[in-house]
DNA sequence: GTCTATATGCTGATAGAC
DNA sequence: GTCTATCAGCATATAGAC
């Protein structure tokens, strides 16, 4: 990145966020310096502060966007009717999001610990609202006798982890076929909950 | 046994490893300083270098121990006969290890990225040997018609992730009942693979 | 084995020129 | 909006006294 001077705000802003997202997810928040982000974007470190108030704010913005993007994907998804259809829709949104946005998904699962307490609380509120939707699906299906599961809370955590395993397993290899990965993940899910 | 007044090597060495393991797992390798480790152990930073050649070596030793301890637990486990019994034994070892050694398990899943290339290769060799054992169980059961699964490799990654989800879900709450968590995890596993 | 002191370099962030 | 220059602090690691 060899650019030396000039004003590029419409380009630089998004590039800063995309670069920070990838580096934070790959190496961890604490291991990445503002100078490193700037170098990959192609500006000097001081220029970053025209777009963010600091490193912490950059992380918070990225984690908030990851949470709201995932929730928005779930809100927008076609859901069908019945607990089984709802669970399939949820599984496909979760797996698909991890395939389409691997850095955001990885950041959200590993760097919450780097947030200041107030920022952490804000992100956890967003996240818990989303996870509660999954737990509600499991409870409803359990009450209706459609799912045979021991504890909805633990089952939800197990499924979320499994969806990460499936999606990242493919992401680590060759370019994944999204429909195929979603189908494999859903088949494991359907059988695990006894549907 | 006569000892110099400030000398506590039999105590300090294990304490350094235990403290570094917990801090690295909780906060990430890059976020933890040698001064912080020393402070929690109760010595000055310079004293750490009587036990390790540096921060990188400390991480490598901890990750190697985590891998060999897990493999040793699998080698020592009673396995029964048949693919189903083998898979149950493997699942219980994996879940039990995560309950008994949560910091080691978390470190192994998140801080490989902080290793130098040569060290990383050494750890990956240990890990892949262990994961291959799981994949072999799945392939054998698949060939025998005992498991109904799409792809052993991806199924293995999905199961490993799910076991983490189950074990850490409980670890995050009150003190887990090991047998109970293993049983819930095994039930999900058994159904997911169609056994 | 542990301490204190220190070498050397990198960190996040800011100031002011253009 | 981006640059250069800089500040104050903390990082890993080492040297030498005890």
- pTM for this prediction: 0.96
- A45 phi, psi to nearest 5 deg: -55, -40
What average pLDDT does range B83-93 have in this prediction? Answer: 98
Task: Measure the CA–CA gap between B40 and B15, rounded to whole angstroms.
Answer: 9
Distance, in Å, from the CA atom of B121 to the CA atom of A13, rounded to the nearest integer, reads 37
> Does B170 contact chain A (CB < 8 Å)?
yes
Chain B nearest-CA residue for A185: B158
CB contact under 8 A, A169 and B154: yes
How near does any CA of chain B get to the CA of A159, in Å? Answer: 7
Q: Report yes or no: B77 and B86 within 8 Å, Cβ to Cβ.
A: no
Average pLDDT, rounded, for chain A? 95
Whose tokens are 């990965």? That residue is A181
pLDDT digits (tens, 9 = 90+) for A137-181: 999 999 999 999 999 999 999 999 999 999 999 866 677 899 999
Instruction: Dump pLDDT digits (tens) for B27-57.
Output: 999 999 999 999 999 999 999 999 999 999 9
> How many whole angstroms separate alpha carbon B147 and alpha carbon A107?
34
B5 — pLDDT class (breaks 50, 70, 90): very low
Encode pLDDT of B154-168 as tens digits: 999 999 999 999 999
Q: What's the confidence (pLDDT) of residue B16?
A: 98
Residue in B closest to A166 by C-alpha? B158
pLDDT in tens, B112-130: 999 999 999 999 999 999 9
How far in angstroms lies nucleotide D1's C1' from the CA of residue A48? 10
Closest nucleotide relative to residue A41's CA, C1' based:
D2
Rg (CA), chain B: 19
Comparing CA positions, the residue from A49, A52, A42, A51 lying closest to residue A5 is A42
- pLDDT band with cut points at 50, 70 and 90 for residue B173: low
Contact B30 A27 (CB under 8 A): yes
Contact A130, A71 (CB under 8 A): yes
Helices in chain B by DSSP H: which ranges? 9-27, 34-41, 55-76, 83-100, 102-110, 117-143, 152-171, 178-192
Q: Is the CB of A35 under 7 A from strand C?
A: yes
User: Which residues in chain B are contacts of A30 at CB distance < 8 A?
Assistant: 27-28, 30-31
Nearest to A31 among B114, B154, B159 (CB): B114
Two structure tokens written together for B49 = 């270098």
| Cα dihedral B133→B135→B141→B142 (10° resolution) | -160
Q: Is the CB of A165 under 7 A from strand C?
A: no
């Amino acid at each position: 990145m060899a650019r030396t001077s000039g004003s590029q705000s419409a380009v630089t802003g998004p590039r800063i966020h995309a670069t920070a997202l990838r580096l934070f997810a790959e190496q961890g928040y604490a291991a990445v310096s503002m100078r490193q982000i700037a170098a990959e974007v192609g500006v000097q470190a001081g220029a970053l502060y025209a777009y963010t108030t600091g490193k912490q704010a950059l992380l918070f913005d990225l984690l908030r966007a990851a949470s709201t993007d995932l929730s928005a994907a779930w809100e927008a998804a076609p859901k069908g009717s019945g607990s089984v259809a709802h669970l399939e829709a949820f599984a496909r949104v979760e797996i698909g999001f991890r395939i389409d946005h691997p850095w955001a998904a990885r950041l959200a699962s590993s760097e919450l610990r780097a947030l200041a307490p107030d920022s952490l609380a804000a992100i956890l509120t967003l996240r818990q609202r989303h996870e509660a939707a999954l737990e509600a699906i499991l409870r409803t299906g359990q009450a209706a006798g459609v799912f045979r599961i021991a504890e909805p809370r633990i089952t939800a955590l197990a499924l979320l982890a499994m969806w990460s395993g499936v999606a990242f397993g493919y992401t680590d290899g060759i370019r994944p076929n999204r429909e195929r990965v979603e189908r494999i993940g859903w088949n494991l899910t359907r059988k695990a909950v006894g549907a």
